[in-house]
Structure formats: C-alpha cells, structure tokens
Structure 1
Amino acid sequence: MKSILKLVVLTLLLSLSSCKYYNFTGTGKIDAETFQVNYFQNNAELVEPGIERTFTIQLQEIIQNQTSLNLVSQGGDLLYEGEVIEYRITPMTATADQRAAQNRLTITVMVRFTNKNKEEDDFEKRFSFFHDYPANEQMTGTRLTTALDEIFTRITQDIFNESLAKW
C-alpha cells in the first residue's frame, strides 16, 4: 500500500513540475514576461470604422488568456504591431439569372512580431480569413458582429500559434 502511495505522489509531482515547460496551449517555455500590442491602424481601401480597435483588443485578450504574460503599454519583451490591410467583399456564387447568391468578407492583417529576447522568432507576415454570407443580407449590425468575431478569432489564433505556439 505504501509503495502505491509513493508512486501516486511521485507521478503527481512529476506532472506538476512538467507544466513549467509545457502547458495546454502548446506554448512551451516562453523567454518573456511581458507583451505589448500596439494599435493596429486600418489601412484598407474599404474602411469599416472600428474594426482596428476590435482586432487590437482581441489580440491582447487571446495572449492574456492563453499565457501568463503581462500586458504592458511600452517596452514589452514581445511586440505585436501592424495594420489591417484589406477589408473586401466579393461575390462567391451566382444564381441562374447571374445575381450573387453568396458574398464573402475577407479581412487581411499585416503583423510584425518582435521578440526582444530571441530575435530568430521575429517575423512580418500577412494573416487572412473570411466569412461567407447570403448576398441578400447587408454586412451591418449582428451580421457584421458575427463575421468579425469569426474572422478575428481565427486570425488572432493563427498569430498566437505563429508567434508563441510554433505550430
């Protein structure tokens, strides 16, 4: 009975200590304590007001929620900056009478990531995603909110994976 208890205690100690090097988000050990997300300007030709603020906040939130890094306004060990470079609506499918049946909203963000402690991790890269919707609906109100949430959730997760999870 004592040997089983010792085995359980040893297993528990080893599993808790291993969380120092790997966690459930897949980030492993991060050589940083702070991160900074600068305001992402909206430089797209077609401008939807406020999306740059929404994107900046969602990027800050995903990093805060999935790491133990502290958000700072300047001098962060990890720096995220960039701009929204594309906000585009295009027809995707047509009806028999040559009208659009479905549209696609595509948003592209250019991101520059800098790791002050590990320069080989730095990158400048475009991240893009889309949302399809019926052509008879306007991209306003709840339709816009739903689309932005879907697109920004995917883009911010891709940025997180590229910069911290290395997936």
Structure 2
Amino acid sequence: MLSKKIVYTFLTTIFLFVMNSCGVKYGFTGGSIPEGMKTVNIQYFENIAPLVYPTLSQNFTEALKERIRNQSRLSQVNQDGDANFEGFITEYTISPAAVEAGTDRAAMNRLTITVKVTYHNKINPKDDFEQPFTRFKEFAGNLQSAQEETLGKEIIQMLTEDIYNKAFANW
C-alpha cells in the first residue's frame, strides 16, 4: 500500500508537469503569461489631470512595476519589451459623494483617479488594448494630507490590479 505522502508527491508532480507543458504559463497569482513573453517595459505615467497631486505619477508608475515584478516572471526593460505599458493619469478629483442632512455640506467625499493605459503585447497582438481605468475611495470630512496619501495608495493598488488582470488574466 502506498503512503499518502508518496501519492501526494506523485499527483503534485503530474500536475506541475501538465501545467508546465501548456502553451500559456499559469501562476498561482491568477495571471497567465503567454509562452515566449520574457520582458516588459513600463513607461512613466505622466499626470495630465487638472488637479495635480505631486507624487502621483511616480507612485503609480512604481506601483505598476512592482505589481508586475511580484506577480509575474517578466524582466523589466527600459524599451522594446515583449509587453509594453504606457499612458497618462487623466483624472484626479475630489467630489462630494453624500450631502449632510439639512445642510449643503458634504458628509462624504470621493477621491477618484483615472488612468488611460495603452498596452501592446508583441507575442499576442490581439491582446493589445487602450482604455481608461477608474477607481475611487470615499472619505468623511475634509481631505487631510496623510489621508490623501493613504487613499491614493489604496486606489493605486486597485488600479494596478485591474490593469494587471486586463493584460495578463483577461478579466
């Protein structure tokens, strides 16, 4: 009688062999990187929104690089990658989300960031896209500097996840 450990090891080996032999490489992060894709180039995302948060461009660009570095096996290059990301931050707005009862003051406000992304996939050009991605977070009262930075990081995290999923998980 085979022990459970031997059966488990055998099944795991078979599973990994099957996954490795497919034309698309699957990871445990939910993404799929096309066979042959080895490099990615991420251009600086300039902030062209009317309201400018000084570090937003740098924070967003670095967060996208970090997301791809942490969730894929792709090497980052300065130009001509197998996958290329470029674009602009087109919206950074603070707007009222809910009015306080009996007044004209905002009880809740919303910070919204929109990024227009152009993605080129040299391995599978049919996966190319150009589209805006928008995310927001609501907050009470006036936006304080530390709160603005925290909300910005949370929104950037959501945006980079959306962009990664669109490019590599076809979501």
Q: What's the TM-score, normalizing by structure 2?
A: 0.89
Taking a change above 3 Å as real, the CA distance of residues 14 and 102 of structure 1, as seen in their structure-2 partners, is same
Q: CA deviation at 1:2?
A: 4.8
Aligned residues: 165
Unaligned runs of 5+ in 2: none
Who is 1:103 aligned against?
Answer: 109
Secondary structure at 1:58 match in 2: helix
In the TM superposition, 1:9-20 aligns within 5 A as 9-20=9-20
Secondary structure at 2:70 match in 1: helix
In the TM superposition, 1:1-167 aligns within 5 A as 1-2=1-2, 7-20=7-20, 21-31=25-35, 32-95=37-100, 96-135=102-141, 137-140=142-145, 142-167=146-171
Q: CA deviation at 1:28?
A: 2.8
Unaligned runs of 5+ in 1: none
Q: CA deviation at 1:128?
A: 0.5
Q: Is the 8 A contact 1:25 1:165 kept in 2?
A: no
Q: Which amino acid aligns with 2:104?
A: Q
Task: Determine the C-alpha separation between the residues in 2 that align with 1:158 and 1:25.
Answer: 13
Q: Is the 8 A contact 2:116 2:131 kept in 1?
A: yes
Q: Is the 8 A contact 2:33 2:72 kept in 1?
A: no
Secondary structure at 1:125 match in 2: strand
Secondary structure at 1:92 match in 2: strand
